Amino acid sequence: MRDPEERRGGRGGRRGGCNLGCGGGCGGVLLVLTVGIVLSLFGATVGIGLSVRVPFTTSNITLAGSIGAKAKVAGALPDYAAGRLAGNQNFVNGSQTLTIGPAEGATLLVIGNQESAPAFDLHLVAH
């Protein structure tokens, strides 16, 4: 049987990982503080999204995110995800937004029927 120190990785109880932010939990805060504020100074927004149709259904799985100027973040999400940020009209809708001053970051996971969503889509946008 291994001793407790060995079970923890032999590093005094610290968990392994990449040590990004506060263990990855506040990596979004650091991203909005750095990239988001820089983009918002120029009034810019960057968005990325991926949508895949669930086989034999009319539902899609969509994962999207955007960061930049607060007023433009929702517009950088894919068109078929419009109105779904913090919505409740799907089987699963996991939305998260973080606003720091003029900058905002938003992520969206939607599983369910999404009108006008293609069978496969990779959405990249920079405004």
| Distance, CA of 101 to CA of 122 (rounded, Å) | 29
Which pLDDT tens digits describe the chain residue by residue (127 residues)? 555 555 555 555 454 544 444 444 456 788 888 899 999 999 999 999 999 999 999 899 999 999 999 999 989 999 888 888 887 877 888 888 899 999 999 999 999 888 888 999 999 999 8
Task: Write down the pTM of the prediction.
Answer: 0.73
Q: What is the DSSP string of 17-62?
A: S---TTTTTTHHHHHIIIIIHHHHHTT-EEEEEEEEEPTTSSEEEE
Positive or negative torsion for Cα 38, 69, 44, 60: positive
Its domain, for residue 70, covers 28-126
Number of structural domains, the chain?
Answer: 1
94 touches 126 (CB < 8 A): no
The answer as to whether 41 is a domain residue is: yes
Q: How much of the chain exceeds pLDDT 90, in percent?
A: 43
The answer as to whether 103 is a domain residue is: yes
57 touches 38 (CB < 8 A): no
The answer as to whether 1 is a domain residue is: no
The answer as to whether 6 is a domain residue is: no
The answer as to whether 34 is a domain residue is: yes
The answer as to whether 11 is a domain residue is: no
pLDDT score recorded for residue 23: 41
The answer as to whether 9 is a domain residue is: no
pLDDT score recorded for residue 42: 93
The answer as to whether 21 is a domain residue is: no
